[in-house]
Amino acid sequence: MASRQAKSLQAAIEQIQAAENRWHEDGGARLQDDELTRILTTLAEAVVAERVTHKLIHKIEEIEYHRNGVSGEGFHVVTFQQHPERTKMVGIVFLGRDRVAVFDRELLGRGVIQIGLPDDGGNSWHGDQFEPELRAAIHKFD
């Protein structure tokens, strides 16, 4: 766990425990709004820290730009490993936000293009979750 995330989670746990102790001492009195706000803010900081430190892509393998003919919209193709022990993936990244498709390369090779989780016979991945890392890699490539 990243240290920033761990510190935020630990702070939130301590605040919750302190609030619980006061609740018992006060005979079940309600928490004050500012106390709840402080606890929720600390938890939110931990979530943000997790998002900042959690990488979906282990290794970028190759990046290529395809101009898509004379008048088509160009796009980047990025091959990558999600994790060292996981499958190899391909991302198709068009210009503009929220225009990313991600597929498992092995499943594509077998002709699996259906929507759905791999365990259910599909080849669907959240392109929006991979997008920041893919675009950062493309930015370095260009």
Q: Which domain holds residue 27?
A: 3-53
Question: Is residue 14 domain-shared with residue 34, that is, in the same domain?
Answer: yes
Q: What is the DSSP letter of 28?
A: S
Residue with tokens 């498992």: 104
Q: Over range 123-133, report the average pLDDT.
A: 91
Do 85 and 103 share a domain, yes or no?
yes
Which phi and psi angles does 28 have, rounded to 5°? 85, 20
Count CB-CB contacts under 10 A for residue 42: 19
Of 9-13, 18-22, 115-119, the range with the highest mean pLDDT is 115-119
Q: What is the mean pLDDT of the chain?
A: 82
Q: pLDDT, tens digit, for every residue of 86-103?
A: 789 999 999 988 999 999
Q: Please name which of 125, 127, 87, 124 lies closest in space to residue 105, comparing C-alpha atoms.
A: 87
Provide the pLDDT confidence category of residue 32 given band limits of 50, 70 and 90.
Answer: low
| First-to-last C-alpha distance (Å) of the chain | 32
Q: What pLDDT shows up at residue 71?
A: 85
pLDDT band at 66 (very low <50, low <70, confident <90, very high): very high
